[in-house]
Amino acid sequence: MSSTDKVILVTGGAGYIGSHTALLLLEAGYKVYIIDNLDNSVEEAIERVAKLAGKYRKNLFFYKVDLRNKDQLEKIFSMVRFDAVVHFAGLKAVGESVAKPLLYHENNLIGTLNLLDLMNEHGCTKLVFSSSATVYGQPKSVPCTEDFPLSATNPYGRTKLFIEEIIRDVQKADPEWSVILLRYFNPVGAHQSGLIGEDPRGIPNNLMPFVQQVAVGRLAELSVFGTDYPTRDGTGVRDYIHVMDLADGHIAALRKLFTGAKGCSVYNLGTGRGTSVLEIVAAFERASGKKIPLKFIGRRAGDSSEVYASTEKVERELHWRARYGIDEMCRDQWNWARENPWGYRAPDSMQQSVESSRF
């Protein structure tokens, strides 16, 4: 069976990472069914994926479904036989998860339980799950290797930790299951076309979208959280990874599953290099030609000083490594921002309400 015959369910495929991955899956010849409740995304993103996919657009399907609605989800599983699932759908804002823990546990855990149950029922036993470096908590050292102790510092992180454990249990109970847990570090950037990218609702929580919105004039200045960390310039260091590299990591994971990988494996998706807040700002200024006004304030609660990935295991076992550096990440982030200063929507546009469509 070539990838052309394979059918992949992509949950959360209208979102930032899901849309970029859906495009690469289509280009690799897979048939892609996206389900998304559009809670943090718009259907326009899927339309743009279809446009970019060109001749492969006929292999893209979208259903507006909430994973918590098991009846609707069951209908899709009864209709299509999936060869594998890539599970992105979930809520991801750390601060919001602290304020609304039940919402996060309900959405992320119930959604995943429904999905796993239906996969079991319908004999679909190949899964790639979007985990996060957040499961390393505040790591005691860097680089983070996959066997570091796991912990969570907020409810969002706890949902990732719980889901990882639930999936491990499911796989242990039925060795037919083969699963890859991918722990993303800090995804940034956009597809080189500038047609798809990250479009957060409200004030961004993460550094790169915040910097982008300052550059296009939507926000006045960037607050730098902490200048007294034991790092090169005192600001926090993270492992930023281009979203196209990240998307490519999912292709590598599926390839591994389809070539007979067994069990439940976990891999970091990062570059293995750390970059400070001030280095990101400088790179973005170079890429955009815009000055980013800064305000230096105190540390953000719960932040680590320095987090970056060990990429040894993923390079060795999935034969994947990130290709892009910070300059390319900023170039593509700026390209997306310049073309779409308000994201997918005009400032006052309404949410779309299409139930399902075929492209």
- Give the active site residues: 156
As to burial, measured by CB atoms within 10 angstroms (0-12 exposed, 13-18 middle, 19+ buried), residue 341 is middle
Residue 32 pairs in a beta bridge with 8, 60
Q: What minimum distance in Å lies between the beta carbon of 197 and ligand WQD?
A: 15
Q: Which stretch binds ligand WQD (CB under 6 A): 170-178, 219-227, 264-272, 335-343?
A: 219-227
Q: Which 1-20 residues touch ligand NAD, going by CB under 6 A? A: 12, 14-18
CB 191 within 8 A of CB 23: yes
Chosen from ligand NAD, ligand WQD, none, partner binding at 111 (C-beta under 5 to 8 Å by type):
ligand NAD
Whether residue 245 contacts residue 325, with contact meaning beta carbons closer than 8 Å, is answered with no
User: Is 106 strand, coil or helix?
Assistant: helix
- Which residue lies nearest ligand NAD, judged by its C-beta? 15
What's the closest the beta carbon of residue 18 comes to ligand WQD, in angstroms? 14
Where helices occur in the chain by DSSP H, the ranges are: 16-27, 43-53, 70-79, 94-99, 101-104, 111-121, 155-173, 207-215, 243-258, 277-288, 312-318, 326-339
Alpha carbons 284 and 218: distance in angstroms, whole number = 16
Q: Which does 15 bind (CB under 5 to 8 A by kind): ligand WQD, ligand NAD, none?
A: ligand NAD
Which member of 24, 25, 33, 37 binds ligand NAD (CB under 6 A)? Answer: 37
Residue among 67 and 330 whose Cβ is closer to ligand NAD: 67
C-beta separation of 252 from 165 below 8 A: no
Kindly identify the residues of this chain, within the stretch 148-187, that bind ligand NAD according to CB under 6 A.
Answer: 184, 187
CA of residue 172 relative to chain centroid, distance: 26
Q: Compose the 241-260 pattern: x for residues touching ligand WQD by CB under 6 A, - for all others.
A: --------------------
Q: Which amino acid is at 158?
A: R
Q: From 60-68, 77-85, 173-181, 218-226, give the range in contact with ligand WQD by CB under 6 A.
A: 218-226
What CA–CA distance (Å, rounded) separates 66 from 249?
A: 26
Answer for the pair 270, 311: CB distance below 8 angstroms, yes or no. yes
Q: Which is nearer to ligand WQD, 40 or 178 (CB)?
A: 40
HSE at residue 280, side-chain half, CA atoms within 13 A, is 30
Which of 67/261 has CB closer to ligand NAD? 67
Contact with ligand WQD (CB under 6 A) among 40, 186, 265, 288: 186
Do the Cβ atoms of 26 and 62 come closer than 8 Å?
no
Window contacting ligand WQD (CB under 6 A); options: 38-46, 113-121, 216-224, 242-250? 216-224
Phi and psi at residue 71, in whole multiples of 5°?
-65, -45
d(CA 203, CA 219): 9
Stretch that binds ligand WQD, among 26-34, 41-49, 200-208, 248-256 (CB under 6 A): 200-208
CA-CA distance, 83 to 29, in Å (whole number)? Answer: 13
Give the separation between CA 274 and CA 245, rounded to whole angstroms. Answer: 16
Residue carrying the six token digits 């939507």: 218
Q: Would you count residue 136 as binding ligand NAD (CB under 6 A)?
A: no
Tell me which stretch binds ligand NAD (CB under 6 A): 35-43, 97-105, 272-280, 349-357: 35-43
Q: Which does 32 bind (CB under 5 to 8 A by kind): ligand WQD, ligand NAD, none?
A: none
264 to 303, contacts with ligand WQD by CB under 6 A? Answer: 277, 300, 303
Indicate which of ligand WQD, ligand NAD, none lies near residue 277 (CB less than 5 to 8 Å, by partner kind). ligand WQD
Buried residues in 251-275 as b, exposed as e (16+ CB within 10 A): bbbbebbbeebeebbbbbbbbbbbb
Least distance between ligand NAD and beta carbon 44 (Å): 12
> In the complex, which residues of this chain contact ligand NAD (CB under 6 A)?
12, 14-18, 36-41, 66-68, 88-92, 107, 111, 130, 132, 184, 187
Interacting residue ranges for ligand WQD, rule: CB under 6 A? 92, 94, 132, 134, 186, 205-207, 210, 222-225, 236, 238, 277, 300, 303
